[in-house]
Amino acid sequence: MQSKIAQKRTLILMLVPCLVILCVIIIIPLINLFVYSFYDYKLSNPNGMEFIGWKNYSKVIKDKEFLNSLIVTGKYVFGVLITQIPMGLLFVEVLSHIKKGSGLIKSLIMPPMVVPGVVAAVIWRLMYHPSTGLINYFLGVFGIEHAWLADPKTTLASLIVVDFWQNTPFVILMMLAGRSAISDDLYEAGKIDGANGWQLFRHITLPLLRGSLMICILFRIIDSLKGFAHISLMTAGGPGNVSTTINYYAYRMAFTYTDIGYSSTLGVFMLLMTTLLAVVLLKIFNKGASN
Amino acid sequence: MKPKKLIAILAALSMVSGLLLSVGCSSGTESSSSGSAPASGSVSATGEASGDADKPYAGTTIHVLLNTHEYYDIADTYIPEFEEATGIDVVMEHVERVSLATKQEMELGAHTGAYDIMLIDPSKATRYYEAGWVEPLGEWIASEDPAITDPDFDINDYISAYTDLLTVDGNLCGLPAVGETTMLFYRKDLFEQAGIDKVPETWDEVEQACIKLKALDVDAIGLRARAGEGLNCYIWPSFLYAYGGSYVDENGYPVLNSPEAVAATQKFADMINNYGPVGGSDMTHAEHITSFQQGNLAMFYDASVFNNNFSDPELSKVTDVWMAAPAPMGSNGQGASAAATHALMLVKDSKNKEAAWQFMQWYTGKDLQRRVALDSKTFGAVVHQSVMDDPEYLEIFGGHNWVESFHKSLERMRPDYRLVSYAEWPYIGDRIGRAIQDTITGIGTAQENMDALNEELTQFFIENGYVKQ
């Protein structure tokens, strides 16, 4: 009996450092985020904080900039998913049929993933430069000269391309891990039953990759929502507000205009959105898994 | 009690008491060294002074946070002389300007007092003053105590356009270190080739020149287009005033959708789209400087300080053929140029104000400015009239019509070129910049964008008490 209590005490004591760190870096900032969202709190206001109830929340709902950033974020996340997930699947499927040299190909596609976002943004900004950039230099052969980042019609797509270059390797890596867990026996059985390549992919690979796929989608959504370096360094949210995502909008409110109260409210909205998305996706995932 | 437990309790008690003591000590230091009015010998009250009458602030360390700039690169090399003369240790930190704004407002807002001197510019002066972050300099300048203010210090030698812009409610908020106005840079060789025999004096003449230069297959003009109070809002007001527009009416209500303001915005957008480089709709001054240096741009309307970029043979291919002209105006003689300055402010929460004030006087003073200008032969953006009038200075910087253009442009400066007297100017300016860039990129017409902007700003001005009710 005594030893059990001592054991529990030891366990609790061992948990303390973890709980303290969790408290300091997550719980307390989170509580502050909610508290500040109810205040008119600008760092430049010498009178300090003033409690204003739900005013920041009603301002967010009426804020056209917020609505715009919501739409931009939606487009960006959709663009990221629609390009990276199918490419990940395609790549894994192709790699699974390559007998020789697949290791080399895997090694070659990984480097973009380890390039810091800031460095990637600077390099791509230079490549996109309308007159001195590498992209227009090559496209010039076909008579194409375009301001990729400056033209509002291509800004977001250009940012999605950079994200594609940098983060598709992550998707491939996750899918490869999932694919390697699928037994070859299943494919053998499918082939004996007369299934063609598409049927094997549709009825064996895809259902059994569901776990990896869902995790990939969840990670890419969260990563895209918090994406900052590419937008900040390549477009600064522009031209106009064409590439101002919620995250970048909240950053500007907090650090350019030092409006802590309003940016906290935007933070609360972002937190609710990501939580909701995670819950919905996990529900879909769990439902699929139980089926 | 077991000995082990006793030891543990004693150890814990000693740690807690140590912590309390350190807190007590630090709060004692704060109270003894804080104080806003200039007071001779206050450093010795902290126990930091060496007792040397010639060096009353010896042993004090001051922390300075500034942006990156050529002036600081050169002036910093002279700091050891200041340290030796005063015994004050200077810890200098330079951060790129956009990141600096974020860093310093966080520091100021949190009242850390970690820095004694920071950057201030006219676009932030009212904001910082009203937030109580900046120490007004009036009493410091007026001090007759030589231990506080150098008897040779002459505030009237600073170019008044700069000090006026840094004055809020009659209080000077900073000492200028670098100054500029806006002017037109152009290539005389390309003008000759295009058959332009008269340097443009109005924006309509600039447009006529653009049409001729475009025939030479060069980018005719570079204008900052990217949205931002310090980006396109640093150039666009020249168009606003030249075409008869203004920001507000007599009651303080925004009138940015007036026919004149809309026409000015449309003209600004047309100049960029029709005569600027490809992708010019999202460019800043940085791209245009490079383009002008490389010989790919015929005209560039921007800050006067970029003369050094064009004269440096290591960076520029146009050292002999660039010329300067005063800021173009409207056809009926109205118009405006900008004036801007990077200045040093004394941080209100500083605990070493006296020592920091010594450094500010020296670092922005005419002696150092003259030395930096004459030694470097590239930095001409001085803020002292006496230096600008110096024959040696004129010999170095007087070419290319730069000095004459500088003075003429500065005469055309309007204090309301940007609404920097509004504490929320950074936000207002960014919003205006957004509407301008939307017009350039074709997201809505000039009328639609300025209507939406005006409606939004009217509400904002009412909420912030900027209008007469």
Tens digits of residue pLDDT in B112-153: 899 999 999 898 899 999 999 999 999 999 999 999 999 999
Q: Residue A34: count other Cβ atoms within 10 Å of its Cβ.
A: 13
Peptide bond connecting A239 to the previous residue in cis, omega within 30 degrees of 0: yes
Tens digits of residue pLDDT in B69-120: 888 999 999 999 999 999 999 999 999 887 888 889 889 988 989 999 999 9
Q: Which amino acid is at B55?
A: K
Confidence of residue A8 (pLDDT cuts 50, 70, 90): confident
- B162 backbone dihedrals φ, ψ, rounded to 5°: -75, -45
Is the separation of the CB atoms in B159 and B385 below 8 Å? yes
Q: Of B130, B182, B170, nearest to B423 (Cα)?
A: B130
Closest partner residue to A131 (CB to CB) among B278, B423, B440 is B278
Name B28's bridge partners.
Answer: none
Q: How much is the pLDDT for B102? A: 85
What is the rounded distance in angstroms from the CA atom of residue A172 to the CA atom of residue B412?
A: 61
- B203 backbone dihedrals φ, ψ, rounded to 5°: -70, -30
Q: How much is the pLDDT for A247? A: 92
Sorted by where each begins, the domain ranges of chain A are: 63-290
pTM of the predicted model as reported, rounded to 2 decimal places: 0.81
Contacts of A86 (CB under 8 A, 6+ apart): none
Overall size of chain B counted in residues: 469
- Chain B residues with CB-CB distance to A55 below 8 A: none
Is the separation of the CB atoms in B336 and B328 below 8 Å? no
Q: What is the dihedral of CA A112, A115, A117, A123, to 10 degrees?
A: -80
Is the separation of the CB atoms in B283 and A150 below 8 Å? yes
pLDDT > 70: percent of chain A: 98
Residue B340's Cα: distance from chain center in Å? 5
Residue B5's Cα: distance from chain center in Å? 62
What is the rounded distance in angstroms from the CA atom of residue A255 to the CA atom of residue A262?
A: 11
Asked whether the beta carbons of residue A149 and residue B437 sit closer than 8 angstroms, the reply is no
Whether B101 contacts chain A with CB within 8 A: yes
What is the rounded distance in angstroms from the CA atom of residue B64 to the CA atom of residue A281?
A: 50
Is the separation of the CB atoms in A36 and A260 below 8 Å? yes
Whether A46 contacts chain B with CB within 8 A: yes
Report the residue of B169, B223, B272, B282 to disrupt the A interface, i.e. the one with the largest count of A CBs within 10 Å.
B282
Q: Residue A132: count other Cβ atoms within 10 Å of its Cβ.
A: 14
What is the rounded distance in angstroms from the CA atom of residue A207 to the CA atom of residue B21?
A: 65
Mean pLDDT, rounded, for B210-224: 93
- Chain B residues with CB-CB distance to A147 below 8 A: 278-282
Domains and CATH numbers, chain B: 42-173+340-395 (3.40.190.10), 180-338+413-463 (3.40.190.10)
CATH of domain A63-290: 1.10.3720.10
The tokens for B54 are 């010639």
The tokens for A215 are 């995790």
Query: In chain A, how long is the greatest CA-to-CA distance?
Result: 83
Of A31-40, A184-193, B20-29, the least confident: B20-29
pLDDT over 70 at A291, yes or no: no
Report the residue of A41, A72, A131 to disrupt the B interface, i.e. the one with the largest count of B CBs within 10 Å.
A131
- ipTM for the complex shown: 0.77
Is the separation of the CB atoms in B313 and B214 below 8 Å? no
Per DSSP (E only), the strands in B201-303 are 219-222, 297-303
What is the rounded distance in angstroms from the CA atom of residue B276 to the CA atom of residue B221?
A: 5
Burial (CB < 10 A; 0-12, 13-18, 19+), residue A116, is: exposed
Question: Pairing state of beta strands B117-120 and B339-346?
Answer: antiparallel
